[in-house]
């Protein structure tokens, strides 16, 4: 008999077969002549039906009084049944207890009353047993697979860059310092400098999906201290629109693949994933700022981003939108951003938003060493501290650009989660390092 792996979902197609399932005991109910045990495995829940007169009486005794969430293994025959939830039930011939759960559970798995997020995260392994929570991570896995396929189709190479650094890419405020054998080092905030170095290395099209660390002191529903960053860098692009078009195509492909996969697996989140109709609207920063009646000196705040998102949805019918042509003043600290030659007050930078949430930032980078060093000095960064990064620019650097996209934020948006923490298995924030 095959190993009892994620079988629940397949049982409707296995009528009459002998199978072995294993999982957590969700519920056990004895009603006179029959008893029902609901057993949840990695793919769903199976109803195990015990019938007086047919089922071995010892099996009733085994399940009677067994604590919820204990782990059981059940062998039996699959049988169609109109009375059970999924149209199929398992008539058991053998039953084994693999692990007994303690009582009481610190977090109910099938409770109707929703628990507070903090309690859920404190007991995340129990929380993750809920099918609705697991559905988020199935979405996440399909999205990542969709991205990888979309990058592969466009000739990108998947890379991994170091997360332990001597220098951060930008200002020190959000850097985590670590003690590196007695010397200071930092956790990477972004793979920015390394992916540019790979363009200098001639790799031309690279992407990376890896953790990025930011010491975000603010407690918001869209910031965490460890997030998955999906970064791409592309050589030989000069017009920021080429970068946007690539990002747009990759997002459209990945989201469509996710939607299809979730529809196939009957994931309840499938219906919430929008069907996209590119092109996404392109809204110049100055236009968005004018509509909000504000200036061009600093980046949009949370409420302004929401208003821009609502407008994009209302006027263009699109959940995704680009905010383009970021002013140089707003990107002053971003020394690697290219400033337009015809108008140095504007960069070739843009944000990608989804329903009022910033999902990605990107643009054309400055590939000319002299201008890059000038931008560094203006940003108060000493070029001497970045010698190995700058080496890439000294020995032949193609014009290039790219983006960084927050995977957790996109999962949050696509799954309609109020808090980004729910998009990660074990989120980290200012107050949480466990579990
Ligand atoms: P924000 O302004 O929202 O704090 P940012 O502009 O500082 O974000 P970028 O440096 O542009 O962030 O990083 C690229 C993407 O990474 C962002 O668009 C976002 O999706 C994601 N991201 C950045 N910081 C965080 C964080 N602390 N938690 C989760 N995702 C993040
Ligand atoms: Mg940004």
Cross-strand pairs, 19 = 76
Closest ligand relative to 171 C-alpha? 1
Q: What is the pLDDT of residues 415-432, one digit of tens each?
A: 999 999 999 999 999 999
Query: What residues are in contact with ligand 1 under a 6 Å CB criterion?
Result: 214, 216, 223-224, 227, 229, 358-361, 404-406, 408-409, 420
> Can you give the pLDDT at residue 169?
63
- Per-residue burial over 308-335, b if 16 or more Cβ lie within 10 Å, else e, is bbebbbeebebbbbbbbbbbbebbbebb
Using CA atoms, how far apart are residues 166 and 175, in angstroms rounded to an integer? 11
Ligand 2 centroid–CA 44 distance in Å is 39
Using CA atoms, how far apart are residues 39 and 388, in angstroms rounded to an integer? 57
Segments in the chain below pLDDT 70: 1-2, 4, 169-172
Protein residue with least CA distance to atom 5, ligand 1: 361
**What domains lie within the chain, and their CATH numbers?**
8-99 (2.40.50.140), 128-423 (3.30.930.10)
> Can you give the pLDDT at residue 170?
64
Q: What is the pLDDT of residues 126-176, one digit of tens each?
A: 999 999 999 999 999 999 999 999 999 999 999 999 999 987 766 667 899
Protein residue with least CA distance to atom 18, ligand 1: 360
Ligand 2 centroid–CA 31 distance in Å is 58
Q: What is the pTM of this model?
A: 0.95
| Helix/strand/coil (H/E/C) assignment for every residue in 241-298 | HHHHHHHHHHHHHHHHHHHHHHHHCCCCCHHHCCCCCCCCCEEEHHHHHHHCCCCCCC
């Amino acid at each position: 008999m095959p190993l009892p792996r994620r079988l629940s979902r397949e049982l409707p197609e296995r009528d009459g077969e002998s199978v072995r399932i294993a999982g957590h005991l969700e519920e056990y109910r004895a009603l006179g002549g029959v008893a029902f045990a609901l057993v949840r495995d990695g793919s769903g829940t199976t109803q195990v039906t015990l019938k007086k007169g047919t089922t071995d009486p010892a099996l009733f005794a085994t399940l009677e009084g067994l604590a919820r969430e204990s782990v059981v293994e059940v062998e039996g025959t699959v049988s169609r049944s109109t009375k059970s939830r999924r149209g199929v039930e398992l008539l058991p011939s053998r039953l084994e207890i693999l692990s007994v759960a303690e009582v009481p559970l610190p977090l109910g798995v099938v409770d109707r009353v929703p628990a507070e997020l903090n309690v859920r995260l404190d007991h995340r392994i129990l929380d993750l047993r809920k099918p609705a929570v697991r559905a988020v991570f199935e979405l996440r896995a399909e999205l990542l697979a969709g991205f990888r396929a979309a990058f592969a189709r466009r000739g990108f190479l998947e890379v991994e860059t170091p997360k332990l650094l001597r220098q951060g890419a930008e200002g020190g405020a959000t850097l985590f310092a670590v003690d590196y054998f007695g010397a200071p080092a930092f956790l990477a905030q972004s793979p920015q400098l390394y992916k540019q170095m790979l363009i200098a290395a001639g790799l031309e099209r690279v992407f990376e999906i890896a953790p990025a660390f930011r010491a975000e002191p603010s407690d918001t529903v869209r910031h965490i201290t460890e997030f998955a960053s999906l970064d791409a860098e592309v050589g030989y692009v000069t017009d920021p629109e080429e970068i946007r078009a690539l990002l747009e195509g990759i997002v459209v492909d990945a989201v469509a693949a996710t939607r299809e996969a979730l529809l196939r697996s009957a994931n309840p989140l499938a219906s919430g994933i929008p069907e996209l109709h590119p092109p996404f609207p392109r809204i110049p920063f100055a236009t968005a700022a004018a509509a909000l009646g504000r200036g061009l000196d600093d980046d949009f705040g949370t409420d302004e981003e929401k208003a821009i998102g609502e407008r994009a949805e209302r006027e263009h019918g699109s959940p995704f939108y680009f905010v383009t042509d970021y002013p140089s003043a707003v990107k002053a600290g971003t020394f690697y951003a290219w400033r337009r030659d015809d108008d140095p007050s504007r960069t070739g930078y843009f944000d990608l938003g989804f329903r009022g949430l910033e999902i990605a930032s990107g643009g054309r980078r400055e590939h000319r060493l002299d201008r890059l060093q000038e931008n560094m000095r203006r940003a108060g960064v000493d070029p001497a501290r970045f010698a190995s990064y700058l080496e890439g620019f000294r020995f032949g650097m193609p014009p290039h650009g790219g983006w960084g996209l927050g995977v957790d934020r996109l999962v949050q948006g696509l799954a309609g989660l109020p808090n980004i923490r729910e998009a990660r298995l074990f989120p980290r924030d200012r107050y949480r390092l466990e579990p």
